[in-house]
Amino acid sequence: MKRLIDTLPGVFMSVDEVTDTLSHMWDTEAGAEGGRMDFRASQMNLILHFGLETSAAEALEQFNTAIVFAQKYPCRLVVLCPYSESDSEVKFEGKLFSQCYIGKHLRDVCCCEALILGYSPEQSDFLENQVSIWLESDLPIYHWLHRVPAERISKHYLGFFKRCRRVLYDGSVEGDVYDLIEWPDPDRVIDLTKARSLPLRQHLGQFISRFSPSELVDGLQTLNFRYSKSMRRMAMQLMGWHKTALSKCFDRPADIDSVILSLEPLSADDHDCCLRIDWQFADAEKTLKLDYNRSRKSGIIRTNLSSGQLEHPLHVEPLSAEAVLGEALFFG
């Protein structure tokens, strides 16, 4: 079976060779006299950290997302690929990927690099030291986790995360297990599902902004979120967003706690990628409902509030994978 490090592009070399090669890789002829290529000035360090359960296809997909992201936001990309127990005799192994991209205009050139580290799980305690050598000093560090077991995070990596500006993971992949980790700074830990929900949040926000705050919350009793299996984490993110936004509509923000928030799966007969939100009021005639289908990129909002009945169709274009990454990194 192929190791994760074998599935990613790049040239194999020793860990020391990676460091030595980087020290002069971007030098130009002018650079020999002190200059370097202006178009590869990094803005950040991005660590892409795989767990053993990551498939080859997933690893390549996440790697390509990071590379496309780096074309817009130049960064030092460090990729961590653990070995299985059968490969544990190899403690550390390096691989280097570099490429330059030309945009629409010849002057639009961006060069990026990926430093790929294969490591034995037994070396986890020494991983921070090796990664630190490869990072660009004085630049912010962002750490993207993919299928890294929660128990390994708690045991080995929490100390390093104190140095990171953001720690990212995908709740639609990891489920709820990361919610139980005692993160050093939970506000810096971002679920990519939150960023992925941005287009739908924008459509909802623009629609409900036409109503007065009192019209939205007077008599509001329940917010019910129903979801297909793959949409559970997005439903959770939208529930949190509703609570935060609607608390500002009450005279006293704490009154949002009187509203019941419920989360439940849709029946098995419903197609995947569906989400339904139902605002329920003391006045049974008063309603606000959203039906959304992510795979069709469409939805509809139906309301019957004091201003009358409305039906508002939605076309929700999802963010690209690299845009989701950028949203999570910069805006949380």
The tens digit of pLDDT for each residue in 129-183 reads 999 999 998 999 999 999 999 999 999 999 999 999 999 999 999 999 999 999 9
Give yes or no for residue 33 having a pLDDT over 60.
no
Q: Are 210 and 122 found together in one domain?
A: no
pLDDT at residue number 35: 45
CB 150 within 8 A of CB 114: no
- What pLDDT score does 188 carry? 96
Same domain, 12 and 139: yes
Alpha helix ranges (H) inside the chain: 4-7, 15-22, 56-72, 124-134, 150-152, 158-161, 171-174, 192-196, 198-208, 213-217, 232-247, 321-331
Examine residue 51 and state whether it is found in any structural domain, yes or no.
yes
pLDDT at residue number 268: 66
Q: Are residues 166 and 203 in the same domain?
A: no
Quote the number of domains for the chain.
2
Instruction: Please report, for the domain that includes residue 224, its CATH number.
Output: 3.40.30
Q: Mean pLDDT across the chain, nearest whole number?
A: 90
Q: What is the pLDDT of residue 37?
A: 52
pLDDT digits (tens, 9 = 90+) for 92-141: 899 999 988 776 766 667 778 999 999 988 887 788 899 999 999 899 99
In a domain, 61, yes or no: yes
DSSP letter string, 229-287:
GGGHHHHHHHHHHHHHHHHTTSSSGGGGGGSEEEEEEPPTTSPSSEEEEEEEESSTT-E
For the cut 70, the answer to whether the pLDDT of residue 242 exceeds it is: yes
Based on the fold, state whether residues 156 and 256 are members of the same structural domain: no
- State residue 265's pLDDT score: 94
Scanning the structure block, which residue is given the tokens 């490429």? 99
Q: Classify residue 96: in a domain, yes or no.
A: yes
Kindly state whether residues 171 and 226 are assigned to the same domain: no
Q: Are residues 138 and 219 in the same domain?
A: no
φ and ψ of 181, to 5 deg? -75, 140
Q: How many CA atoms lie within 13 A of 202 on its CB side?
A: 10
- Same-domain pairing of 133 and 207: no
* pLDDT range class, residue 31, cuts 50, 70, 90: very low
The average pLDDT across 45-71 equals: 96
- 299 domain-assigned: yes
Write down the pLDDT at residue 272: 72
The last residue of one of the domains, among 184, 210, 241, is: 184
137 and 233 fall within a common domain: no
List Cα–Cα distances, 161 to 44, 114, 143, 154, 168, in angstroms. 15, 20, 8, 11, 11
Sorting pLDDT into bands at 50, 70 and 90, what band is 76? very high
Angle between helix axes 232-247 and 198-208 (nearest 10 degrees) is 40
**DSSP secondary-structure letter at 112?**
E
177 & 246 share domain: no
Decide if 329 is inside a domain. no
- 293's CB contacts (< 8 A; 6+ apart) are 271, 273, 274, 275, 299
171: in domain: yes
Check pLDDT > 60 for residue 38.
no
Proportion of the chain above pLDDT 70, given as a percent:
90
- Average pLDDT of the segment spanning 207-235: 95
Give the phi and the psi of residue 58 in degrees, each rounded to 5. -65, -45
239 shares a domain with 167: no
> Last residue of some domain: 184, 207, 240?
184
Q: Check if the beta carbon of residue 166 is closer than 8 Å to that of residue 325.
A: no
Q: Long-range contact list for 23-31, CB < 8 A, 24+ apart?
A: 25/98, 25/113, 26/111
The reply to whether 131 and 275 lie within a common domain is no
Q: Does 130 fall in a domain?
A: yes
Whether residue 326 lies inside any domain: the answer is no
pLDDT in tens, 272-317: 789 999 999 999 999 999 999 999 999 999 999 988 899 999 999 9
pLDDT band at 2 (very low <50, low <70, confident <90, very high): confident
Expressed as residue numbers, the domain containing 302 is 198-315
pTM metric for this prediction: 0.90
Same domain, 154 and 35: yes
